[in-house]
Amino acid sequence: MEQPLPANGSCNLSSINLSEYVENPFTRSAFFNFGKLYNDIPIIVRAMDDVLEENISNHPLNEQREMAKKYRNIGIGIMGLTDMLVKLNMSYSSGISIVKEIISVLFANSLISSAKLGKERGNFPGYSSNVWKSNIIKTSINEDTLNKLIKNGHLRNCSLLSIAPTGSIATMLNVSTGVEPFFMLSYDRKTVSLNKDKETHYHIDIDCLKQYKEITGSNDIPSTFTNSVSQNINYKDRIKMQAILQNYVDTAISSTINLPKTTTSEDIRNIYIEAWKNGLKGITVYVEGSRDPILSKDGENKNNNSQCFNCITPISRKTLGTTIGSTFCKKCACGTMYITCNNN
């Protein structure tokens, strides 16, 4: 879940294609164009505020419209992260430091842009000076800039960054989705919405590899590509990447760790414990074969249902009887959250 929302809350999402900011890709002089990103951020924040305003009347419930007006949440995210890294001659695991620099620039400048927009268009109605006490703001903005922002007292949007899965739009552009590594360098994709509800499979070769071959004239696949495929990345590196991003994302991040069929329950436990140790808000795992996949390896049997998994069958509260458990009260970004764990 990339966007935890209060009751009747909403958020308009957008995603920046990071791969388009790499100059001289796949060469020794490749670099990320931070100047271009700096220039684009104010445009993106203004555009998202416009989208939010345009979309308010489209909410079906008055309560939703009022919440959108009151907090003016926007969710600027990213996609093409892995394409960007391989264009910079880095693998997914070796690119964590530059990703940290990029996401910190994105959050800090989105905040400054929203503050300027607040002065021009007015603050979000639910604005309070307490917003500047947020840890993510205090750790992302230098003290002088923060003091100026507090003194001016303007902010147009309650939240700014949110990293969505971007499955559809990233696929349209043939770039890696959200914060994910490459699923495969070549794979099949299933859809039922592009062919009159008829299940259709498409073969996809990632465009980034095509670009590499065209630019370098080589048909060899470098290790930066193969080491950026999900099955070749240690889950701890996936968690490290998400942890770095989370430090500068004021809502949440959608991220799925793809695992082989040989994964055990102990492996799953270790992943969630490691995510907890790194302070992640959430993490998702997908074990190959645990459900009918949207993405699959080349040549896999599309209708192979030989491997079945048990599932939890819903039980009515009326027939459940007495249960024993505990309820925990936790503070979260949306207020107070109650978590109840029962045993039966």
CA separation, residue 183 to residues 26, 175, 176, 233, 292 (Å): 20, 11, 8, 11, 16
- Residues 285, 271 contacting (CB under 8 angstroms): yes
The amino acid occupying position 226 is T
pLDDT above 50 for 305: no
Whole-prediction pTM? 0.84
Which pLDDT belongs to residue 294?
57
Smallest CA-to-CA distance from 120 within 212, 213, 49 is with 49
pLDDT above 90 for 309: no
pLDDT above 90 for 163: yes
| Averaged pLDDT of the chain | 89
- Residues 255, 244 contacting (CB under 8 angstroms): no
- Band of residue 299 on the pLDDT scale cut at 50, 70, 90: low
Q: Where are the beta strands (DSSP E) in 206-266?
A: 256-259
Report helix, strand or coil for 337: strand
The secondary element (H helix, E strand) that includes residue 64 is helix 62-71
Q: Say what percent of the chain tops pLDDT 70.
A: 89
HEC string for 260-311? CCCCCHHHHHHHHHHHHHCCCCCCEEEECCCCCCCEEECCCCCCCCCCCCCC
The stretch 214-226 carries a mean pLDDT of 96
Please report the sign of the dihedral spanned by the C-alpha atoms of residue 244, residue 250, residue 254, residue 256: positive
If one compares 283 and 323, the residue with the highest pLDDT of the two is 283
Out of 67-76, 103-112, 213-222, 316-325, pick the least confident.
Answer: 316-325
One-character DSSP codes across 110-145: HHHHHHHHHHHH---TT--GGGGG-HHHHHHS-HHH
Q: What value, to the nearest 5°, has the Cα angle with vertex 118 and ends 112 and 124?
A: 115
- Band of residue 312 on the pLDDT scale cut at 50, 70, 90: low
pLDDT above 60 for 296: no
If one compares 175 and 305, the residue with the highest pLDDT of the two is 175
Look-up of token digits 């990320």 = 32
Q: What is the separation of C-alpha 64 from the centre of its chain, rounded to a whole number of angstroms?
A: 23
- Band of residue 292 on the pLDDT scale cut at 50, 70, 90: low
HEC string for 137-187? HHHHCCHHHHHHHHHHCCCCCCCCECECCCHHHHHHHCCCCCCCCECCCEE
- Residues 83, 139 contacting (CB under 8 angstroms): no
In the sheet where 295-297 sits, what is the strand order? 200-205, 186-191, 295-297
